[in-house]
Amino acid sequence: MLQPFIDALIPFMPGYLELPESYVGLLKSASHRYIKRVPKAGGGYRYFYHVGHGSGVAHEDHFVPGASFRFDGGHYHIKSEEGGKLVIEHDETKERKTVSKTELRSMLTSHHEPAIKAHREKVAGMLAEARANKASPKQIAKLEARAKAAGIKTTTKKQAPTGIDRLDKRIAKIKEEIEASPISEDDKAKLLAGLPEKNPKRKGDGYSDGAADDEYDDYGDMVERSFKRDLNDAVKRARDTSSKAGPSVEEVLSEVPEYQRRAYRDDTASELRAKAKSIRKQAEHTGDDDPSLRFKTADQIAQRKAEKHRDATFMERLADAKDRAAR
């Protein structure tokens, strides 16, 4: 980096300013420390001093005239590009040859193999340590990007769910059960409002960041027990409300003539259901070898069947009313 400048300047320096050969050698050595030098669009160069920087030692985007790459005590400089081939010259040996980009990449990769291997091992170790210590997803993603840039094939290992992750899952499942349960909207709203709500910082009841995994599990157990108790109560209320919703016995009996009501009042709910079942069975066979219907039309037979089904439905509704009254 400094050698051309020094070589050009020394002839014009007064004798007493002439630099000792050892000092010149030191500056020359410093100028050779970079791994690669890439020309910038606006002039000047970008210097890279590590095999892991600048997309590695042999990135083909950097194979342009003016670039140079460390090799055997000096650097290969790309002098020009001709017909897809690169003309390179070594600044120490002055060796000049024409190579393809693939050949130059292979040369550089082979020469720097020990340093590349050490770099990959270091990055792989850092990534393994971060995963083992349960580092944040952001830290792991950053190290995975470095590993990929270094040519390390990584498989993203799914981290075991933490206590707070398990709690989130349990709360989500409880919410699904509440939404699907046959309870009133008011009870749903109350149950949902009683659950701990996760905000972006995961704060609130049971959601403190400093808790241990087992503490989240214990808290989840408590929430589930409380939820199941409250949900069972809500379901029972819903059933009670549903069972009480319907006409009374007298309201159902008012659908039939007065002379029939006394007999129906004396029948129990189970007796009414048994009669309804028998009548429906009779309706299915109405018209089958029935002498009384021999001269009836099909419409008349269908009407008789419909009447029997209406009678059976009436008895079933009355049985339901009697059951409600007995509760």
Q: 24-44: buried (b, 16+ CB within 10 Å) or exposed (e) per residue?
A: beeeeeebbebbbbbbeeeee
CA distance 54 to 119: 14
Tell me what pLDDT residue 17 has.
39
Any residues with CB less than 8 A from the CB of 32 and at least 6 apart, and which? Answer: 70, 73, 74, 75
CA distance 91 to 109: 19
Tell me what pLDDT residue 306 has.
85
Q: Return the closest-CA partner of residue 181 out of 192, 167, 170, 196.
A: 192
The full set of domain ranges for the chain reads 32-103, 115-149, 163-244, 249-326
Tell me what pLDDT residue 213 has.
65
CA 316, 317, 321, 327 dihedral sign is positive
Low pLDDT (below 70) residues in the chain: 1-32, 53-55, 154-159, 197-213, 240-245, 286-296, 327
Tell me what pLDDT residue 281 has.
85
Q: Nearest-5° angle of CA 29, CA 39, CA 52? A: 65
The 10s digit of each residue's pLDDT in 76-87 is 999 999 888 999
pTM: predicted TM-score of the whole model, two decimal places: 0.36
Tell me what pLDDT residue 24 has.
39
- What is the DSSP code (8-state) at residue 288? S
Question: Residue 220 has which token pair?
Answer: 């989840």
Any residues with CB less than 8 A from the CB of 209 and at least 6 apart, and which? Answer: 164, 201, 202, 203
CA distance 155 to 138: 16
The 10s digit of each residue's pLDDT in 244-296 is 667 888 888 888 888 888 888 888 888 998 998 998 888 777 655 565 655 56
Q: Which amino acid is at 130?
A: A
**Number of Cβ atoms within 10 Å of the Cβ of 80:** 12
Tell me what pLDDT residue 96 has.
93
